């Protein structure tokens, strides 16, 4: 699996960032550049079925974790700092429980290891309702999607995946049929056979319900050296809503653990 990626910086400790569902590496460009200025070599990676990575196979976490392992091996990256948001956070957790000997520091953004019910049903309905082969403008796509998702910021995030094809017309960067069929897998539980002792930072948005107080005991059973940072005035897309606070929390954690 040849994952698409972008490297920012040529020196420093390697730091890998994995986006969430419906996302791709471009969502993290600004933060990646900021982090690289603090002495890190940053790799932004498109997970399979997203961005410019191959659209084949299943969208399950053992597969996504194996993709990450292959990426690290291919690029001869050792002792990386692994950061994942939402689906990307689940991938990082699955990687940690599958390859615990290669883990040093983990940062999990607004997701826990527990099983989640299927999210984004309405969004998927809206995306599938867009006549992708017929629309001529992004505005037309937004008009359809607005009937299913009222928040402009969410629609703008989703429609960043809309691109003009060389042969004309529009296409999706993500694999919409697979996302539609495999969305239940995106919420599956991460099961560990042993504790992951690596320092781990969980970052959550104050207004998000993806990590709640009663989840913390279960998180510590897998990640006993975990700590939680709550970012004020932020929801699930913490890094987009409060980028300065997000980077500050991340760098503080890395300064204390590296």
What are the structure tokens assigned to 24, written together? Answer: 């791709």
* H runs (alpha helix) in 20-168: 29-36, 61-74, 87-98, 121-129, 138-145, 152-159
Beta strand pairing status for 170-172 and 162-164? antiparallel
What are the structure tokens assigned to 152, written together? Answer: 């402009």
Residue-level pLDDT at 124 = 96
- 36, 53, 86, 208: which one is catalytic? 86
Contact, 2 vs 217, CB < 8 A? no
Per-residue pLDDT of 21-58, as tens digits, reads 999 999 999 999 999 999 999 999 999 999 999 999 99
Residue-level pLDDT at 186 = 92
- 19, 50, 85, 236: which one is catalytic? 236
Beta strand pairing status for 81-85 and 162-164? unpaired
235 pLDDT exceeds 80? Answer: yes
13 pLDDT exceeds 90? Answer: yes
Contact, 13 vs 40, CB < 8 A? yes
Residue-level pLDDT at 245 = 97
Residue-level pLDDT at 33 = 97
6: nearest Cα among 35, 43, 60, 52: 43
Per-residue pLDDT of 69-122, as tens digits, reads 999 999 999 999 999 999 999 999 999 999 998 888 999 999 999 999 987 899
Residue-level pLDDT at 118 = 82
Would you call 58 a catalytic residue per the annotation?
Answer: no
Residue-level pLDDT at 52 = 96
Per-residue pLDDT of 132-179, as tens digits, reads 999 999 999 999 999 999 988 889 999 999 999 988 899 999 999 999
Its pTM stands at 0.94
Per-residue pLDDT of 173-188, as tens digits, reads 999 999 999 999 999 9
Q: How far is CA 65 from CA 33, 94, 124, 242, in A?
A: 25, 6, 24, 28
Would you call 53 a catalytic residue per the annotation?
Answer: no
Q: How far is CA 158 from CA 118, 135, 148, 237, in A?
A: 18, 16, 12, 12
């Amino acid at each position: 699996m040849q994952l698409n990626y972008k490297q920012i910086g040529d020196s420093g400790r390697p730091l890998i960032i994995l986006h969430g569902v419906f996302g791709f590496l471009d969502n993290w460009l600004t933060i990646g550049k900021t982090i690289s200025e603090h002495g890190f070599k940053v790799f932004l990676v498109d997970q399979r079925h997203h961005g410019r990575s191959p659209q084949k196979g299943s969208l399950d976490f053992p597969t996504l974790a194996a993709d990450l392992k292959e990426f690290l091996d291919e690029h001869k990256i050792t002792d990386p700092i692994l950061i994942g948001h939402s689906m990307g956070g689940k991938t990082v957790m699955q990687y940690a429980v599958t390859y615990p000997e290669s883990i040093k520091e983990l940062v999990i953004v607004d997701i826990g290891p527990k099983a989640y019910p299927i999210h984004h049903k309405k969004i998927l309905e809206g995306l599938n309702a867009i006549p992708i082969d017929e629309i001529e403008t992004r505005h037309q796509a937004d008009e359809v999607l607005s009937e299913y998702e009222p928040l402009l910021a969410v629609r703008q995030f989703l429609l960043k995946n809309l691109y003009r094809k060389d042969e004309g017309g529009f296409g999706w960067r993500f694999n919409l049929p697979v996302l539609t069929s495999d969305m239940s897998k995106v919420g599956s539980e991460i099961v560990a056979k042993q504790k992951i002792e690596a320092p781990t930072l969980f970052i959550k948005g104050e207004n998000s319900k993806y990590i709640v107080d009663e989840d913390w005991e279960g998180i510590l059973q897998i990640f006993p050296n975990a700590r939680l940072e709550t970012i004020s005035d932020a929801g699930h897309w913490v890094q987009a809503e409060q980028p300065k606070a997000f980077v500050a929390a991340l760098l503080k954690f890395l300064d204390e653990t590296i």
